[in-house]
């Protein structure tokens, strides 16, 4: 039988849903539910990380070549942005626990700003991959007619021509010579015009008696005993498949996070959260931190590993 105190708590506890007896029970249920969701997300991303590690262990040179072509500046900037956004999200929870509505709103706005900056940087990177013919799906790259292509080494002036950007090849002085190469791509196919600097480095080391190629690479890069650029390109294409899948799904999670922040902003503006009721802010913070942590792993795996080959 419900006591008068229970009835009073049901009627006046802020945010208490009818299916729970008290706020403590509600908060424990919500917390368990969120952690179960995050465990499922860990399993989901864990499969992708496993696929990455399997292919990288088989074709480390091709993956290093492709990784060196990513711009570590943009990846590092996004890492810094997300670290700061985790701080503003933590401060959002802090001010919600103290019932400070104004600071809650400010911190949520800052968190949303940093999340938007992150997505803006990804748009810059994805646009560059589109222009550079590095989207690994046939037909999704920029289409360049034969008539739009210029002679190798001549800067492109005609609208619609494709120029390999300097920002993507700054890691290697040898690759810089390709900065103004314009390549026809009338069907929008995946292309690789950036040399094989990592592979050449490995071959020089092998001449001195130091083995660099894995058994899978000796099969996967060669045809009839000779190096096959097309087969090497296909292994690089695998890297970009994984790159787009992993960063694309992460960006999707970031978009969902921004939608949650928009709802949280509206609720905070209305003064919903206080020292007695702040569970939605705390659970939203757990999701946001999880998305940030995933990127902390993506950044070194995709942008940094293998960069030592070109130094």
Q: pLDDT tens-digit profile of 174-216?
A: 444 444 467 887 888 888 888 888 888 888 877 877 777 888 8
**Strand partners for 144:** 185
Which domains can be identified in the chain, with CATH numbers?
23-137+195-310 (1.20.120.80)
Least confident of 48-57, 66-75, 174-183: 174-183
Question: Which pLDDT score, from 0 to 100, does residue 191 have?
Answer: 87
Between vectors from CA 243 to CA 187 and to CA 140, what angle results, nearest 5°?
A: 15
Question: Which pLDDT score, from 0 to 100, does residue 235 have?
Answer: 92
Burial of 109 (0-12, 13-18, 19+ CB in 10 A): middle
277-292 per-position pLDDT tens digit: 778 888 889 999 999 9
Residue with the larger pLDDT of the pair 140 and 245: 245
- Nearest Cα to 300, choosing from 45, 134, 78? 78
**For residue 245, is pLDDT > 80?**
yes
Question: Which pLDDT score, from 0 to 100, does residue 16 have?
Answer: 52
129-182 per-position pLDDT tens digit: 999 889 998 888 888 877 666 544 444 444 444 343 433 433 334 444 444 467
2-46 per-position pLDDT tens digit: 444 444 444 455 555 555 455 555 566 666 777 888 888 889 899
Question: Which pLDDT score, from 0 to 100, does residue 115 have?
Answer: 96
On whether the CB atoms of residues 63 and 55 are closer than 8 A, the answer is yes
pTM here? Answer: 0.80
3-state secondary structure the chain: CCCHHHHHHHHHCCCCCCCCCCHHHHHHHHHHHHHHHHHHHHHHHHHHHHHHHHHHHHCHHHHHHHHHHCCHHHHHHHHHHHHHHHHHHHHHHHHHHCCCHHHHHHHHHHHHHHHHHHHHHHHHHHHHHHHCCCCCCCCCCCCECHHHCCCCCCCCCCCCCCCCCHHHCCCCCCHHHHCCCCCCECCCCCCCCCCCHHHHHHHHHHHCCCCCCCHHHHHHCEECCEECHHHHHHHHHHHHHHHHHHHHHHHHHHHHHHHHHHHHHHHHHCCCCCCCCCHHHHHHHHHHHHHHHHHHHHHHHHHHCCHHHHC
Integer Cα distance of 115 and 121 in angstroms: 10
Residues 6+ apart with CB under 8 A from 270: none
Could you tell me the CA-to-CA distances from 75 to 39, 102, 272 in Å, in that order? 26, 32, 36
267: pLDDT confidence band, cut at 50, 70 and 90? confident
Backbone angles phi, psi at 306, to 5 degrees: 95, -5
Integer Cα distance of 192 and 176 in angstroms: 15
What's the length of the chain? 311
Question: Which pLDDT score, from 0 to 100, does residue 169 have?
Answer: 37
Question: Which pLDDT score, from 0 to 100, does residue 273 have?
Answer: 79
């Amino acid at each position: 039988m419900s006591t008068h105190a229970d009835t009073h708590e049901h009627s006046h506890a802020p945010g208490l849903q009818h299916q729970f007896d008290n706020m403590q029970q509600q908060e424990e249920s919500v917390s368990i539910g969120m952690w179960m969701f995050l465990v499922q997300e860990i399993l989901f991303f864990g499969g992708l990380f496993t696929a990455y590690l399997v292919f990288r262990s088989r074709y480390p040179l091709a993956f290093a070549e492709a990784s060196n072509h990513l711009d570590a500046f943009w990846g590092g900037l996004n890492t810094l942005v997300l670290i700061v956004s985790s701080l503003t999200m933590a401060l959002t929870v802090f001010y919600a626990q103290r019932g400070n509505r104004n600071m809650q709103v400010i911190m949520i706005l800052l968190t949303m700003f940093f999340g938007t900056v992150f997505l803006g940087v990804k748009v810059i990177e994805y646009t560059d991959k589109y222009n550079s013919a590095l989207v690994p799906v046939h037909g999704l790259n920029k289409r360049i007619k034969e008539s739009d292509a210029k002679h190798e080494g001549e800067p492109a002036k005609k609208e619609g021509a494709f120029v390999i950007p300097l920002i993507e090849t700054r890691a290697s002085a040898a690759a810089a010579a390709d900065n103004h190469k314009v390549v026809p791509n009338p069907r929008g196919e995946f292309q690789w015009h950036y040399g094989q600097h990592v592979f050449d480095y490995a071959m020089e080391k092998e001449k001195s008696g130091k083995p660099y190629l894995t058994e899978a690479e000796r099969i996967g890069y060669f045809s009839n005993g000779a190096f096959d650029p097309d087969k090497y390109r296909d292994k690089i294409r695998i890297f970009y498949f994984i790159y787009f899948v992993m960063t694309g799904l992460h960006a999707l999670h970031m978009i969902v996070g921004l939608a949650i922040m928009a709802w949280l902003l509206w609720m905070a503006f209305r003064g919903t959260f206080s020292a007695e009721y702040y569970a939605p802010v705390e659970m939203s913070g757990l999701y946001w931190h999880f998305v940030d942590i995933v990127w902390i792993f993506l950044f070194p795996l995709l942008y940094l590993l293998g960069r030592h080959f070109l130094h």
